[in-house]
Amino acid sequence: MIERYTLPVMGRIWEDQFKYNTWLQIEIFACEARARMGEIPKEDVKLIKQNAKFDMKRISELEETIKHDVIAFLTNIAENLGPESRYIHYGMTSSDIVDTALSVQMKTAGELLLNRLNDLLSELKIRAIEHKHTICVGRSHGMHAEPTTMGLKFTLWYEEIKRDITRLQSAIHSISVGQISGAVGTFEHLSPKVEEYVCNKLGLSPAPISTQVIQRDRHAEFITSLAIVGATLEKIALEIRHLQRTEVQEAEEYFSKGQKGSSAMPHKRNPIISERIAGLARLLRGNSIAAIENIALWHERDISHSSVERVIIPDSCIVLDYMLDLMTKLIKNLIIYPDNMIKNLNLTRGLIFSQTALLRLVDKGVIREDAYRIIQDMSEDIGRDINKSLKDELINSKEVRNYLTEEEINNIFTNEHLLNNVDFIYSRTIDETKETN
């Protein structure tokens, strides 16, 4: 991933230094396991631990000739050892260290992403509680529907992030497996106890069965889980982009002092963070398709997945880390305009209360189809004439006044009843009694 979108902690997980360190750990742990079983002199393991080193420049030089990164790594390690080098990589295949190390990287990256998600969850909770009773219009199909609250928007996003956390936890569990099972996964030259020891040291579980490679449905689950998180972030970003439109102006990304929005138009304050998040979410979705394509391998053990994963796994982790950092700051600093929300609520001159009016007529005994016709005809007239409102049309309608008094009509156009069940919704989602971390 380009440096622009790479944050330092996540970036280091995918650097060669981290990878080679993990490869070396795996080789040393395998030697330790065999020493415990009496297959290697403990003195030789001590020498391996003291002297086994690698040099990334030297590995690159060797790979130019060898054309195999694992063999280049092992050759470089052997250059720093004596006869004890014969115990390195004994009975193992390349994927034993590559796949096991990749699991360590994905687990480490996944746990970092979980921390990011929990940070975002905390900010969403704060904003949900803050705007629990901030009334705004609810939209469906892009059109004004009925009133809702800004807090409920934050609560909706909060609940989805909770599901994303659950999905990612499951995906991390699925990928937290290793293998030290040999060329075709049959443990022909190594005891399964070696695999068990190595995996335990690395915080992994042994894959119940491997075939030379860990099966790629696990990796696909991980990458698609990241893509779903990205889609959630895009969903939030898309709504913020809409709310920031000049014609709406109900919310706005924080615009820092000295920031500029356009090279041509000094007045512009564009939702660039939300747009960036929306764009990067597409990258995650594309990578998820590639991860699914990697599941099918010739005889369950070719390496056609390898070249793809060198790109999509680091990039997906790095990009989502960056996106979560952006979104957490965006939510924390998001500017809300309650006065504009009230102004927008009144744009349709009471039409957002059309269902309430319909139901009050039904409550009085009017057939639903007739009540619907009455309100719909009025709504069409109001939409064409800016001097008309639904309240006035109801009050002036002889047909309506046969059923509703003026006081009953006035009661239709109040916001109090909108909030009757907000506490109930919050009770199912956000626990307001607990402090936010």
**Catalytic machinery residues:** 141, 262
> Which residue pairs, CB below 8 angstroms and at least 24 apart, start in 242-245?
244/269, 244/271, 244/274
- The closest of 139, 134, 130 to 238, measured between CA atoms, is 139
> Tokens 């070249």 label which residue?
307
| DSSP letter (8 states) at residue 303 | -
Structure tokens at 332: 């924390």
Structure tokens at 86: 């014969």
Q: Is 402 exposed, middle or buried (0-12, 13-18, 19+ CB in 10 A)?
A: exposed
Who's near 379: CB < 8 A, 6+ residues apart?
351, 354, 390
Residue 383 near residue 347, CB atoms below 8 Å: no
Q: Distance (Å, rounded) from C-alpha 65 to C-alpha 79?
A: 16
Q: Is 109 exposed, middle or buried (0-12, 13-18, 19+ CB in 10 A)?
A: buried
Residue 221 near residue 171, CB atoms below 8 Å: yes
- With b for 16 or more beta-carbon neighbours within 10 A and e for fewer, the 171-204 pattern comes to bbebbbbbbbbbbebebeebeeebbebbbebbeb
**413: three-class secondary structure by DSSP:** coil
Neighbouring-strand partners of residue 251:
336
Instruction: Tell me the residue type at 227.
Output: A
Q: Distance (Å, rounded) from C-alpha 144 to C-alpha 333?
A: 26
**350: three-class secondary structure by DSSP:** coil
What distances in angstroms separate CA 365 from CA 97, 368, 403, one per listed residue?
76, 9, 8
Strands (E), 123-164: 135-140, 143-149
What distances in angstroms separate CA 37 from CA 24, 45, 47, 194, one per listed residue?
20, 13, 18, 9
